[in-house]
Structure 1
Amino acid sequence: MQNYSLIESCLFLPAFINKKKVNKHFTGKSVLITGASSGIGEQVAYLLAECDCHLILVARRGDRLSQIKEEVAAKAAKVSVFQADLRNVSEIDTFLAFLHKLPGGIDIVINNAGHSIRRSIFESLDRPHDFSRTMAINYFAPVRILLSIIPLLRERQGQIINISTINALLAPVPYFAAYQSSKSAFDVWLRAVSPELISKGIATTSIYLPLVRTAMIQPTAAYKNMPAMSTEHAAKIICKSIYKRKKKYQPWWIVFGQIASIFSRNFADFSKKGEKK
């Protein structure tokens, strides 16, 4: 795990997991993890590798999936991998056919695959794909997958875990229109259907993570020196939330972040009006 700075240690409080509870909860279960070839998804797979469970890993990079499977092979978990670009409808359909043929059904779905982009709206005027691509992976893909496998989850009294972002809880942020709107779309969708799912025995959990040190944030230079959570830390939070069947996880300081985001947005708007005068 990465060494935290003092401010990171204050922002990201330790996540302690009970290994006995982890083993008890996950033993005998099938766990689907999207975006499993790197970052958070990869670390969740490694954390659960010690459990006698079935890990179903899907991502675009088949070589990385095969490598993870090989590394986990000597441990307790059984691993199935499937290479697919979940932005592609035909590849999703092929993946869903694969899921429905697996013995034992599905108990837990961890929706982790995602795509972020930081770009001014003026740089996207001739790039509508900036929005179609983020919506494809952050919204349409998880909706399409869940519509197909909710019956499987209902049979097993399963659980859906959405790896969201604190951006979905904050005021809209300039340059992140594509990312923030697409992540918020699925967050709202899951919260909207949650009461119906719960009534049928399917639990839902929304994980609102802060900035996490993954490959996805590397292209954004502004993130280089910003406080960021480690992927191992995020994986512990996710697994703990699953075995405790928590409805939601969010950082302790999120309410202050929400106030700050609203204030900064209003201040920026006020300043722009002042400049025009």
Structure 2
Amino acid sequence: MTATGWWFQAKHALDTRGPFARRRGRTLAGAVASRRVLITGASSGIGRAAAIELGAAGAVVILVARREAELREVVDAVTARGGQAFAYPCDLNDAEASEAMIGKVLAEHGGVDILVNNAGRSIRRSLADSYERAHDFERTMQLNYFAAVRLMLGVLPGMRERRFCQVINVLSVANLFGGPRYSAYVASKAALDEVSTCFQAETLHENITFTSVYMPLVRTAMIAPNKQYADAPALTSEQGGQVICDAIVRRPRRMGPTFGRLVRLTDAISTERADVGRHRRYNSGI
């Protein structure tokens, strides 16, 4: 499948029906004008691309990542297109630093209207190679789950008061069909998905949407060390950023490629058959 094919599936196979469907005729500018959008992992890749598009559309973009110099470059890229952007360098693995950053953002901007939990850590390691590496699971959970939860707990009180906000969690398509060799990564993203489902149930009538984006493979620095993906079909960072923008416009509850959703359905009907497929994927070396 070509990268364009992946993008077509990601863009058009959306769950846009039900109580969380939003106006199909909305534009990005209409959805984000003057709204405060906090994006983690904003110094490169998907986060950078989304920030530039959102800033150009009129959002007040709040950028969070570890690398300050690269964050400043994104601020410059946003402002060059007439947008507003503010950099907040922070290591989200550090709980105290995260709490201080959240407090500063709330004090300086008065709140966050849209939170994009995009920062993440991926580890490719088989079970056989993980027996002495429990810390891989711990550090992956620290960034992919605990840091994201800390941010949600920080901004949700204000979101609930304003009653029109959105939390976007960038997950993986592997959360739909399983990811052999990526157990730490997939499990951490699954935890984020499930806690958001619980939060959504508690805020059902408060006009807050928790959007799970099951992102296909994107050609970013995260996958660069994995040589088996060198020639694999993948979205560009710009296409990944556009997925985030589309999620903001449409406000779906869940968003992901058709093939992943079909595999999840197969898993629900026949877990054993789905396990066979996952085992074959593992044996293929992917």
TM-score (norm: length of structure 2) = 0.84
| Corresponding position of 2:165 | 158
Matches within 5 A, 1:63-102: 63-102=69-108
Matches within 5 A, 1:33-44: 33-44=39-50
User: Which structure has the greater CA radius of gyration?
Assistant: 1
- 2:214 equivalent among 208, 214, 219: 208
Distance 1:104 1:123, change over 3 A: same
Q: Percent identity?
A: 34
Matched, 1:168 2:175: yes
Counterpart position of 1:274: none
**Structure 2: segments with no counterpart, 5+ residues:** 13-23, 281-286
Partner of 2:183: 177
> Is the Cα–Cα contact under 8 Å of residues 114 and 137 in structure 1 kept in the other structure?
yes
Select 2:7's aligned residue among 4, 12, 36. Answer: 12
**Deviation for aligned residue 1:99:** 1.8
Whole-angstrom distance in 1 between the partners of 2:275 and 2:184: 18
Counterpart secondary structure, 1:216 = coil
Deviation at 1:20, TM superposition (A): 7.4
The structural deviation recorded for 1:73 is 2.0
CA gap of 1:10–1:43, structure 2 versus 1, over 3 A, is: same
Aligned ranges 1:257-276 → 2 under 5 Å: 257-258=263-264, 259=266, 263=273, 265-266=275-276
Give SS of 1:266's match. helix
Equivalences for residues 118-133 of structure 1 within 5 A? 118-133=124-139
Query: Distance in 2 between the 1:107 and 1:192 partners?
Result: 20
2:27 to 13, 21, 27: 21
Once residues 41 and 55 of structure 2 are traced to their aligned partners in structure 1, the CA distance between those partners, rounded to angstroms, is: 17
- Deviation larger for 129-138 or 248-257: 248-257
Contact 2:36 2:60 in 1 (8 A): yes
Letter in 1 for 2:170: I
Query: Which range moved further: 29-38 or 197-206?
Result: 197-206
AA paired with 1:138?
N
TM-score, scaled to structure 1: 0.87
1:114-160 Cα deviation digits (max 9, x unpaired): 01000123323332221111000111011111112101112332111
Q: 1:70 to 1:170 in 2, by over 3 A?
A: same
Q: Which residue pairs with 1:3 in the alignment?
A: none
Of 173-182 and 105-114, more deviation after overlay is shown by 173-182
| SS at 1:119 equivalent | coil
Structure 1 gap ranges (5+): 1-5, 271-277
AA matched with 2:251? R
For each residue in 1:215-271, what CA deviation from the matched residue of structure 2 results, as whole angstroms up to 9, or x when unmatched? Answer: 10111111112111112112212212212222221112224444499646326769x
Corresponding residue for 1:247?
A: 253
